[in-house]
Amino acid sequence: METGLTTEALNVEKKSKVQSKQIKSNANVSRYRGLQASLDNDKESNYNWEKIDTTKLKFEKKDVVNFMDLFSGAGGISVGARMAGMTKVASVEMDKDASATIRNNFPKSIHFENKIEDVTEEELDKKLKGKHIDVMFGGPPCQGFSVAGLRNPQDPRNQLFKEYIRLVKHLKPQFVVLENVPGILTMQKGDVYKEIIKQFADIGYPNMTVRILEAASFGVPQLRTRAIFIANRLGLVNPYPSEIFAPSNYKSIESAIEDLKDYERNALPNHEWTQHSENLEARIAKILPGGSLYDTFRDAYKRQYKGVPSMTVKENHGGCHVHYDLNRVLSAREMARLQTFPDDFVFSGSFKRAYWQIGNAVPCLMAKHIALAIREKLKQHHLTI
């Protein structure tokens, strides 16, 4: 019987279908599931937290919650907190393009385009003009974190974390949210994250807790796990949002970007991608879902799967993930969709710099539900005092 396909093509198609079945059964399971369960079951040192259903919360206009975003990048957390009805007061980010993005999208908030160590307490007080910060968000880079560096004020390692602590100690927000990669929890056999918790306790935030959250659980069409530390100075149980989606009904990649397949370059703001030569495009056409253009650096030019959430999107120096159907990498706007940025949120700088900003962001929808849980806890607290 004539099929119209060569034997080689049939084998490729068969292999692709097998791989797709495998990814649909395995991709939605976080490799941090064991660590997540261990943390959640730690009733001795990680007990002070509860889940809050954030899907039906209602707030009044008087329920004003001010926040500040440190190491803000392009503002994924800021967008999420704004979605939750919080008011952005200020942010700190040293990158020029990310700072321009912040200024353009949050024109009414104060922005410090500085290294965090150059933001003085005096300058903060002058700019804030008495406005109190209720929630401090931030995710200091953890490269090189060490217990020794955290404990020794003169040690240059972990300096950014120490600056975070400095500003929190000065501004005394009611809640602190620190996000980071899950790998921070296993550094030096867990001693690093325990030292972080101790240092927050030393400045008035006892019983800090940490949980691993999966972005796809909150409607993000992407698998992206983050370690979320929360602490407060009010003596409250730390709130975390309840998971909304289970792995069986996570949002798929095409639910977010399928409508952009036929759009030309620049048809939407930031809908740009790396231009490919004919030779490179031909090589990309041979990449199967989950496969890469390279044998060594396998996360660059890796083709996304269809029917499941996106793999964690990254900038990869222009070698972003390949579209599930098209023979090109994802556009910056498609990546932004996968991070749940709205289409009217425009990134400044070149499209490669937009890639960098988007790839480093916290998914907006996950940040929204974290902010909603905290906002609800603050509302409950204010009703009881």
**Quick one: pLDDT at residue 143?**
65
pLDDT in tens, 312-347: 998 877 779 999 999 999 999 999 999 999 999 999
- pTM equals 0.91
Contacts of 96 (CB under 8 A, 6+ apart): 113, 349
| pLDDT of 139 | 86
> Which carries the bigger pLDDT value, residue 44 or residue 236?
236
- Please tell me the predicted confidence (pLDDT) of residue 22: 45
pLDDT greater than 70 at residue 8: no
Distant-in-sequence contacts of 323-326, Cβ < 8 A, 24+ apart: 323/261, 324/253, 324/254, 324/289, 325/261, 326/261
Looking at the chain, the domain(s) classified CATH 3.90.120.10 span 249-359
Average pLDDT estimate for 168-185: 94
Q: Where are the beta strands (DSSP E) in 25-86?
A: 49-52, 66-70
**Per-residue pLDDT at 10:** 46
Give me the active site residues, please: 142
- pLDDT exceeds cutoff 90 at 27: no
Residue 5: the pLDDT is 43
In the chain, residues under CATH classification 3.40.50.150 are: 33-244+365-384
Question: Residue 145: its pLDDT value, please?
Answer: 67
Helix (H, G, I), strand (E, B) or coil at 87: strand
What is the mean predicted confidence (pLDDT) over 209-224?
97
Q: Give the tens place of pLDDT for each residue, 270-302.
A: 999 988 999 999 999 999 999 999 888 788 899
CA distance 31 to 146: 24
pLDDT at position 360 over 90: yes
Q: In the structure encoding, which two tokens stand for residue 154, read together?
A: 């003169």
24 CB-near residues (< 8 Å, 6+ apart): 305, 307, 308
Confidence band (pLDDT; 50, 70, 90) for 21?
Answer: very low
Judged against a pLDDT cut of 50, whether residue 9 lies above it is answered with no
The per-residue pLDDT for 299 is 82
Q: How far apart are the two ends of the chain, measured CA to CA in Å?
A: 79
pLDDT band at 191 (very low <50, low <70, confident <90, very high): confident
Instruction: Report the distance separating Cα 355 and Cα 352, nearest Å.
Output: 5
Top-confidence residue, 169 or 21: 169
The predicted-structure confidence for 40-97, as pLDDT tens digits, reads as follows 999 888 999 999 999 999 998 888 999 999 999 999 999 999 999 999 999 999 999 9
Q: Give the least confident one: 205-214, 298-307, 361-370.
A: 298-307
As a whole number of angstroms, the distance between CA 39 and CA 46 comes to 7
Q: What is the DSSP letter of 316?
A: G
Q: Look up residue 198 and give its amino acid.
A: K
Q: Residue 138's CB: how many other CB atoms inside 10 A?
A: 24
Give the pLDDT band of residue 28 (cuts 50, 70, 90): low
Name the superfamily (CATH) of residues 249-359: DNA Methylase, subunit A, domain 2 (3.90.120.10)
Model confidence pLDDT, tens digit, residues 89-118:
999 999 999 999 999 999 999 999 999 999
Total residue length of the chain: 385
Average pLDDT score over residue span 136-153: 76
CATH class, range 33-244+365-384: alpha beta
Nearest Cα neighbor of 103 from 349, 296, 287, 291 is: 349
State the pLDDT at residue 3.
Answer: 41
Confidence class for position 236, pLDDT limits 50, 70, 90: very high
Q: Would the pLDDT of 153 be above 70?
A: no
Q: What secondary structure does DSSP assign to 175-234, as a single string? A: EEEEEE-GGGGTGGGGHHHHHHHHHHHHTT--S-EEEEEEGGGGT-SB--EEEEEEEESS
33's tokens: 């599931």
Percentage, residues of the chain above pLDDT 90: 74
Task: Supply 214's token pair.
Answer: 């999966």
Q: Mean of the pLDDT values across residues 345-357?
A: 96
